[in-house]
Structure 1
Amino acid sequence: MPHSGFTGASVAARLTALFDAGTESPLPSTSGLRLAHGSVAGRPVLAAATDPARDKGVLGIAECADLRRAVRRARENRQPLVLLIDSAGARLDDGLPIQGALRGLMTELLDAGLDGLPMISLLGRNVFGGASMLAFTAGQRCYAPGTLLAMSGPRVLESAGGGDRTTVLAAIDGRSRSRHGGAERLLDDTLPAYAAALREWVAALPASEQAPDGLDDERRRLAQRLGHGLNEAAPPPAALTGFDAVPGPLACRGRAFVGAADVLKLATLAESAAAPLELLLDCAGHSVRLGDEALILTQYLVHLARTLRRRVGNGQEVRLRIAGEISGGIYIAAAGAASSVDIAPGGSVRTLPQTSLDSILTRPDAASTNASADFAHYAEFGVADTVSALA
């Protein structure tokens, strides 16, 4: 096997290197996603790969639909799922409907994880936005030193005052991510190293598919990460504002940008709240502060989603009401996990905060791409189930 870089290899070369020789077989795809099945260490697995050579591997509506089908197939056949993710995130030109597509995909992956489906994420060069959230639905992630992973890309983080490009990249690269340990693993950037890591993961899978979900242990580790001050620029837990734990809805108010500490507090409150859980969100989106990204903000957001979805899996309703303008990772986490989503009067959903979108898209029509659309289309797009604003 040639010792070439994994992050620089084509998606075809990556798949060929990972499967046992002669076992790879492609599966139908209606998008830029590459799907295949075969054997790894003698065990049948299913792989889904974004293709960075096709529009930076972005996730559009078609890619989300293909990946949902792949997850279902893996669950039906009880085959481990390998996610090869190298993606700039959501296809922003798809406008608001991509939020509905990502919501549905997040629900599919959360349920698969709760059902015990083994999943591993093998990360390429760039893993941003919604793609980073998909990576954290898996039980393990493998990085190369030069992998860049964050909810917000370097351009947005620089624009938000995160420092120069060198500082930003050092905070979100594979070395930085892997130092947090647990399910994070740093690999040499070679095809053989990734193939060996995958074989080791497959060989170590437990005989019982219904392993503990690990949420409680994860919450403790995430709290310790905040408490140990691994990044002094991150907001301390004691400085939180905006969440209420009074009788009635669990609320985030003030149209603020939620960071790692905010998300962890919301998950902690949601875990102990009475059923059914009413969640009222009035927040602009996820934080674009480098301090939050250095703590792996994506992991906190997916932890919140897993916490909420576990309640749903246990038969407890989680009703989300969106009372303000919401966007980005906090929308995908909460809406993907909730059993129902309602747009309250004054509520709306956007793809990203406009300031973030302006840093990514320089076209004059960037504002229209981020338009929140007519309320009548929210249910059609899968963004919400009901719209009280129409009543």
Structure 2
Amino acid sequence: MRQTSANELPPANGELNSGEFGVTRDGGKVFLEERARQHESRSHVFCANSFDVEEAAMLTALHASMALRWDVPAYDVPVSRRRPELHQALETKPSPARGPGKPTIGFIGLGSMGLPMASHLLKSGFRVKGFDISENALRSFADSGGTAYPDATEAASETDVLMLMVVNIDQAHQALFERGALANSTRASVVVLMSTCPPGEVEQLAEAVIARGHRFLDAPVSGGVAGARDASLSIMVAGDRQTYEMSRNLFDVLGSKIYYLGERPGQASVAKAVNQLLCGVHLAAAAEALSLAERAGLDTSTVLEIVSGSAAASWMLNDRGQRMLLEDPEVTSAVDIFVKDLGIVLAAGSSARAALPLASVAHQFFLAASGQGSGSADDSQVIRAYRGMTAGQKEAKK
């Protein structure tokens, strides 16, 4: 096996950059990138026989520094063949501010879900650079210990992974392309879209990202604000399997249930559409049931207690039911979010040639509530649409 010459290795210890990952980074990166060009292959799929054992050891260390789960075995270099200046650098202790192998994350979208998600990554030792169009969101993120930027391009600069938790696919396009985040992400090898978006449009976005030399994961979440706050989200992921495995440590920080749906971006978004179909229909049905009790003159709190403990119960009823009885509850997810999400559900059904009559009716009630001026109200206030249908009518006799 060919041995490396002294001038092929990175500079001696005095000139090596140990960096914030706690291992030699810049010198090793340049060295391995050159070796990659020589072998005409990406560094993460090099075979051991392409290197001598010392090069393989340095490759392993570099991949550890990138904090991604590269499929490269660790090699123990025999003492007789070690270069002291190289191994002294590799054995440098990690920075106390960050654990070894933690990537830098760019997080775009620091709203009611994005902010707690980004905060969990910070608490787990990742460096997180955040962007949001809201100044209040940026201040809250900075108060959590993150580095806030007023521009998506700056937040994406020199990041390893770029995560998006935005309102819709248009905002994702704006952040990545119009605001220049993707072009400035020189090290953002993985773009992770965690928003609820139309499956077909997610697939198109993935193609555009991949065409620019980046990786892409379709990774919508379920669990709402509560799940984001306590890191118990269900995360559905689709995309290149190796990229998913490399990024799994990030998902483990944010959720309690992680599901891999397949190689094609958009597949996870279809699964999320199925989830939102049930959520929307259950929520509309709960509102209809409680509006019936209300209209009939029953004590709605008592009725809610009865049905919540019966076979009629659902997660949405138990979570939203009490808020339906309040005049203006705190907003955890807005009516207009379900207008959007059920629109995505219906588009997915049309694409699959699947009839979705219940989803269609539920969508109409969310549209009605929004049209009445409740679009920014908590989604439990879809009950206002039912009340609006009977406004001015006499109540039934008690």
User: TM-score normalised by the shorter chain: which range applies?
Assistant: under 0.3
Q: Of Structure 1 and Structure 2, which has the larger fraction of its residues in strand?
A: 1
Higher relative contact order (CA 8 A, sep 6+): 1
Rg bigger for which structure?
Answer: 2
Q: Of Structure 1 and Structure 2, which has the larger fraction of its residues in helix?
A: 2
